[in-house]
A and B are shown apart, each in its own frame.
Chain A
Amino acid sequence: MLEKHGSDKAIHNYHPIYASILDQPNKITAVLEVGLGTNNTDVFSNMGKGGKPGASLSAFKEFLPNARIYGAATDRRILFQDGMIKTFWVDQTDPSTFELLGRDIGGQLDLIIDDGLHAPNANLTVLLFPLEWLKPGGRLIIEDIMPDSLPVWHLVSSLPPPAFENHRIVSANNAYLFCVRKDA
């Protein structure tokens, strides 16, 4: 389904993880993904001219019949709304913009995915916020961590906030993921 909608998540072999986290699709009520996949080539981390902004959001919309699907990215030109999908502006290099995003969403999330600007500062900005946004038992997945940045994640693993004891660095195709589960 991810491939059908034009997302690269299956290429990285992330799909088994999402299949297992979302194994009860009807029960999921809200998901947020940071990083929409812009096709504007002037934006760093773009998906090329042929990219489909919000590809993974469309897949989640199809897969999760009862969920509100939120997306966020820096490129205002690609923000859109489509039924249960709603997208917002955020800049992962500016932590204060996440407060606005939190207020815009204003609800508890089952899953937060960071597939935006893949740099440690940007990832940490996302990691710092879901404490209050995630439902107990909810998950945060940080995608596309480069091997060179692993020391940051070994350090992060040694200082999880109390509610985030349950975390793993996962090795996938050519990249790592940092997966956290908020205590139930």
Chain B
Amino acid sequence: MRSLKNIIKRTPSLFRIARAIKQTSSTALKNALYSKYNGVISELRIFAPTPSGSVRARFDLTLLSAKQVIPLLGELVKASRPQPSGRVVTVAEFCDELARKG
């Protein structure tokens, strides 16, 4: 591997080709990531922050927002009603309720 690298380095035409391949593949990778990030942001746009910053940071913040919004809404529901209507009851409590209400 090292000798191949040395050969490329010492051969200007090979060096130019290798550099071009490296640049093209890194640009292709960057473009692929960029379009992946934008695709996810667009799918999850309800959670996305206002665009102002790098696409990568916006992608990370969108995922974080998607992760946090529902639990935070749950907190809001808890704060809104002393006994949220989604309260979980035991089988016994539920059967009591059924017996009472018919």
Contact = CB atoms under 8 A, between A and B. Distances in A.
Interface of A: 43-46, 93, 95, 117-122, 124-125, 127-128, 131, 144, 146, 148-149, 151-152, 155-156, 159-162
Contacts of A93: 61, 64, 68
B72 interface: yes
Contacts of B57: 44
Nearest to A127: B76
Interface of B: 45-50, 52-54, 57-58, 61-62, 64-65, 67-69, 72-73, 75-77, 79-81
Among B49, B53, B62, B64, the most chain A Cβ lie within 10 Å of the Cβ of B49
A160 B73 CA distance: 10
A124 B72 contact: yes
B80 A44 contact: no
Where chain B touches its partner, the secondary structure class is helix
Contacts of B47: 119-121, 149
Contact of A162 (B45, B49, B64, B80): B80
Given A149-B46, A156-B73, A45 B80 contact: no
Given A121-B72, A124-B72, A155-B73, A46 B80 contact: no
Contact of A121 (B53, B69, B79, B80): B69
Contacts of A43: 53
Contacts of A122: 49, 65
B46 A151 contact: yes
Contacts of B69: 120-121, 124, 152
A119 B57 CA distance: 13
A152 B76 contact: no
A118 B69 CA distance: 13
B61 A128 contact: no
A83 B85 CA distance: 48
B49 A117 contact: yes
Among A121, A122, A127, the most chain B Cβ lie within 10 Å of the Cβ of A121
A58 B21 CA distance: 53
B72 A46 contact: no
Contact of B75 (A128, A146, A148): A128
Given A128-B76, A159-B77, A159-B80, A121 B64 contact: yes
Given A45-B49, A117-B49, A118-B49, A161 B80 contact: yes
